[in-house]
Amino acid sequence: MFYFGKSILYYINSSQNSNIYWSGKNPYFDFSSPILNQPNKEEEKSNINTESKLSSYDLTLAPEIIKFYQRGTQLEQLSDWIFKQNTCLISVSGLYGTGKTTLVKRFVDLNLHKFAVVIWRRLKYPQSLNLLVSDLLNVCQQEPQSTLDKQLRQLFDILANQKCLIILDDLQNIFIPGKFAGQYKVEYQDYQNFFTMIREVKHQSHVIVISQQQSPEMECLDDELYPIKSLELSGLYDVDILQNRGLKNEDYWLQLIDLYAGSFIDLKSVSILINKNYDGQVADFLAENTLHITNQMQSRLQEIFNHLSTQEKEIVLHLSKFEIPVTRDYLKESLSLSVIDFNNGLQSLQQRYLVTKIKNNKILFLLSSVFREYVRNYCQN
């Protein structure tokens, strides 16, 4: 039997051992075939409702993973939360360039067959919750009803009866720039209620949100109260991430990675500069003893700085003066902020992963090294 749809040709043999063929760029985009993921005997033991014929995959907006580096522990963590602990809402967050999206896509690639529905959506240019839910229902072959309330009822009926996985990438774009982290824009406040429903309404499905800042719904101190988990990624300190970038002096690669805090994006940008200006000689570049901010990095860091609140900017400008971690009291004493504004600003900067809290004999705070260099050179009055 042949199925035609969305530039993909499917051939399905109706015998017990199905053979599957496809042509087209994205075999994940499947609205039509109930047989493609018919579970085997082992999978019948899972939570998937095998009586339903729904099988819908839409990963057309997900990235293609060419290489995957040293995140096995985090992959196991995601698997444990979803398949063993049945965690319904998971955030994967961290500063840009830490491989958040790559990690989640790798998890999806390895576990696609374990879900009846998998949908990946990017919020780079976010849409209202009403449009998002309608979109999700269309993928699930459901005609959206007239109101958001009715559509949510439709969606949660599917989430309860099917094992679904929904990924929402770039969540930070629905938050207000110029305010503390995690404050929703007026037109996207319905998302806050949606995430609350995901964690409070009983179902067997999962939502993963990927963001450069932590959303307030993920800050639950009681792990047993709500089925939510947060995975925070930092940079990756592995020389393999610099392979095939035309760089020389491999003995110096780890030093270069450390200088840019293991950020994939920053290391890619600076590798291009080293190739062009230093003929790939990492040792010569490091001999300059400078954390170089490339043009591409400037644009990205400027956007981050512009999204900070007034209080956060004041803290960052002062904190950028210190090479070493400082205590909360030492940081505060030179600022004109009230105790409330200072505490809210410092918390918000940690939610954006720009400031790290270090637990030693005393609690210390340190600004991200790359962001500190940018602030010093481009944000001072």
pLDDT above 90: residue 372 = yes
- Give 21's strand partners: 11
pLDDT above 90: residue 315 = yes
CATH code of the domain in which 93 resides = 3.40.50.300
Among the ranges given (86-95, 166-175, 219-228, 265-274), the one the predictor scored with the smallest mean pLDDT:
219-228
- pLDDT-based confidence at 5, cuts 50/70/90? very low
CATH code of the domain in which 319 resides = 1.10.10.10
Mean predicted confidence (pLDDT) in 287-298: 96
What one-character-per-residue DSSP string does 33-101 give? Answer: -SSTT---TTGGGSS--TT----EEE-TTSPP-S---S-HHHHHHHHIIIIIS--SEEEEE-STTS-HH
The domain in which residue 46 lies consists of 37-232
CB 270, CB 260: distance < 8 Å:
yes
- Which residue, 194, 216, 232, sits at the end of a domain? 232
10 Å Cβ neighbour count for 212? Answer: 23
Work out whether the CA dihedral 372, 375, 376, 381 comes out positive or negative: negative
- pLDDT-based confidence at 361, cuts 50/70/90? confident
> In whole angstroms, what is the distance from residue 351 CA to residue 344 CA?
10
Structure tokens at 279: 């003929």
- Which residue, 216, 232, 248, sits at the end of a domain? 232
277 and 132 within one domain: no
Taking alpha carbons only, the member of 304, 333, 303, 308 closest to residue 318 is: 333
Mean predicted confidence (pLDDT) in 112-125: 96
120 and 265 within one domain: no
What share of the chain has pLDDT > 70, as a percent? 83
> In whole angstroms, what is the distance from residue 70 CA to residue 103 CA?
10
> In whole angstroms, what is the distance from residue 354 CA to residue 368 CA?
5
Q: What is the pLDDT of residue 145?
A: 95
Q: How many domains does the chain have?
A: 3
Is residue 132 included in any domain, yes or no? Answer: yes
pLDDT above 80: residue 224 = no
- Would you call 327 helix, strand, or coil by DSSP? strand
Q: What is the pLDDT of residue 53?
A: 53
Greatest mean pLDDT among 2-11, 52-61, 67-76, 249-258 lies in 249-258
205 and 143 within one domain: yes
196 and 305 within one domain: no
Rg of the chain over Cα atoms, rounded to whole angstroms, equals 23
Is residue 2 included in any domain, yes or no? Answer: no
Is residue 9 included in any domain, yes or no? Answer: no
276 and 157 within one domain: no
CB environment 11-28: b (16+ within 10 A), e (fewer) = ebeeeeeeeeebeeebbb
> In whole angstroms, what is the distance from residue 311 CA to residue 331 CA?
13
Q: What is the pLDDT of residue 7?
A: 31
Q: Which residues fall within 8 angstroms of residue 298, CB to CB, at 6 or more apart?
A: 374, 378
307 and 250 within one domain: no
- Which residue, 193, 214, 232, sits at the end of a domain? 232
Residue of higher predicted confidence among 65 and 312:
312
Q: What is the pLDDT of residue 381?
A: 64
> In whole angstroms, what is the distance from residue 143 CA to residue 154 CA?
9
Mean predicted confidence (pLDDT) in 71-84: 95
pLDDT above 60: residue 179 = yes
Mean predicted confidence (pLDDT) in 350-379: 95
318 and 177 within one domain: no
Residue of higher predicted confidence among 91 and 24:
91
Q: What is the pLDDT of residue 227?
A: 72
Structure tokens at 207: 């939502």
Q: What is the pLDDT of residue 70?
A: 79
> In whole angstroms, what is the distance from residue 136 CA to residue 149 CA?
14
- The strand pair at 8-12 and 228-232 is best described as unpaired
> In whole angstroms, what is the distance from residue 316 CA to residue 376 CA?
10
87 and 200 within one domain: yes
Is residue 370 included in any domain, yes or no? Answer: yes
Is residue 285 included in any domain, yes or no? Answer: yes
What one-character-per-residue DSSP string does 12-25 give? Answer: E--SSS--EEEESS
Mean predicted confidence (pLDDT) in 266-281: 97
CB environment 171-194: b (16+ within 10 A), e (fewer) = bbbbbeeebbbbbbeeebebbbeb
- The strand pair at 363-367 and 326-327 is best described as antiparallel
| Residue 89 backbone zone (phi > 0: left; psi -120 to 50: alpha; other: beta) | beta
Q: What is the pLDDT of residue 40?
A: 42
Q: What is the pLDDT of residue 233?
A: 94
324 and 281 within one domain: no
Residue of higher predicted confidence among 39 and 159:
159
Is residue 6 included in any domain, yes or no? Answer: no
Among the ranges given (2-11, 111-120, 139-148), the one the predictor scored with the smallest mean pLDDT:
2-11
Mean pLDDT over the full length of the chain: 85
213 and 67 within one domain: yes
Among the ranges given (42-51, 210-219, 242-251, 270-279), the one the predictor scored with the smallest mean pLDDT:
42-51
pLDDT above 60: residue 31 = no
- Give 326's strand partners: 365
What share of the chain has pLDDT > 90, as a percent? 76
Half-sphere exposure of 149 (CA within 13 A, CB side): 0
